[in-house]
Chain A
């Protein structure tokens, strides 16, 4: 009798260790099928990076897990609980354990930066404003923003600064599960690496389970335990981050090397 081997392809992994698992998730907008039976899983305390072309449904995948979009078919399990059949109340309880960095930062523009960061603490956890503010200033420092930025409004920040405030907000409550939708897009290379380190720390030191979306392969290599590539609404390859270069998959190779020529045809008119 041998122990079941950990499988290299987490989308077929059925062990209990999976913190989040998507199984055959389908999502359509009108006639357009964005996710077409997508399956992927991420283990507890693991960092999954999803790569894939623009418009391939990466952000939609995260929103389906959070319940912001309703999957048309398939199942999504978080800690063994099926999100797709949850009641509103159960979903609310579940979301308390999540942090999310939106692709467009999605900062509340009626609130100053520090209140944005402290929002989950004040509203979700009932932390006193004064204490929440201290925590917020501390989180801002973690993403390289000085304390005086806390008093500004989101509209007064650059795009990259907004992204970092969104990141500080996502990690402020130190959630168990954190989603990062393009955390380093719009940042300079040095700041991008600071953010990579921060995400690694979240996983290593806080034990968070993370799913990150990125187009930045340097960032992906740094933060991922596992990588998955999405194409035409499905995961066409997934495996340990170290094996991405030996995937043996032409689509993955083309993507990670950023070549215009290959099996993935961009729908552009050549002049």
Chain B
């Protein structure tokens, strides 16, 4: 009995230690990356290229996600709401759900799937082929050259992507409501505008920026610290996506409770 308890505690302790070690490593990494942002030089060209690859090339997947989700949502809310004021319910629920939650969360998750994995794979390959070491020997800080441009680009780009996602999502609901459900276009838009508040938009953009940070941080961190050849890079890629997903959902919950919970 005592033995069992002892073994159990040993296992728990071991997990706790490795979890704390991981958190420590990650905080160290994040602290170092953020401190490099405020110290020159900044690689603006590289940042621009990252913005293009994170932002522009994510537009199709983010746009389609928002379109399909917004349309389906309008249909569902219509079915669920009473027929009396279905029109205002569909328009208002749609815009609030999209802007507050679905736009940033689904947009963030889609970009995480695309971008965290790509970052982890790229930096991971650079790590295992010693390209990161080579940067250091060529008087270039890999943190500054590789990580900082990705962080800045993701934090700046995600809010822009989410604005697009929100707009397309609301538009998807609008199309279903007016074309399928026979709503009046003008009054649907009126309700949409009436229900949308500045705080909704701001929280949406704050979420997007935080998700951008999470996406780039997870991709870079796991890539930067990968080891052990192709298998290690594969593991880093998986870990980057899974941890980005979980952290995005967790951060979303925290921000939602903080902004709307009171």
Contacts and interface: CB of A to CB of B under 8 A. Distances in A.
Interface of A: 63, 66-68, 92, 95-96, 98-100, 102, 104, 106-109, 119-120, 123-124, 169
B134 interface: yes
A127 B125 CA distance: 28
Interface stretch (B4-12, B55-63, B96-104, B135-143): B135-143
Nearest to A63: B133
A268 B137 CA distance: 36
Contacts of A104: 129-130
B136 A119 contact: no
Contacts of B126: 108
Interface of B: 125-126, 129-131, 133-141, 145
B41 to A, nearest CB: 9
Contacts of B140: 119, 123-124
A92 B141 contact: yes
14 contacts: A66-B133, A66-B137, A68-B136, A68-B137, A92-B141, A95-B137, A96-B139, A99-B137, A102-B133, A102-B134, A108-B134, A119-B138, A119-B140, A124-B140
A107 B136 CA distance: 13
B131 A106 contact: yes
Contacts of A100: 134, 137
B136 to A, nearest CB: 6
A119 B134 CA distance: 10
B131 A108 contact: yes
Nearest to B41: A123
Nearest to B49: A110
A67 B133 CA distance: 10
Contacts of B136: 66-68, 95
Nearest to B139: A124
A169 B140 CA distance: 14
A107 B139 contact: no
A102 B134 CA distance: 8
Contacts of A95: 136-137, 139
Q: Which 8 residue pairs spanning A and B have beta carbons closest together? A: A124-B139, A106-B130, A106-B134, A120-B138, A100-B137, A123-B140, A68-B133, A96-B139
Nearest to B43: A123
A119 B129 CA distance: 17
Nearest to B128: A104
B18 to A, nearest CB: 15
Given A106-B133, A123-B139, A124-B139, 12 more contacts: A68-B133, A95-B139, A100-B137, A106-B130, A106-B131, A107-B131, A108-B135, A109-B125, A109-B131, A120-B138, A124-B138, A169-B138
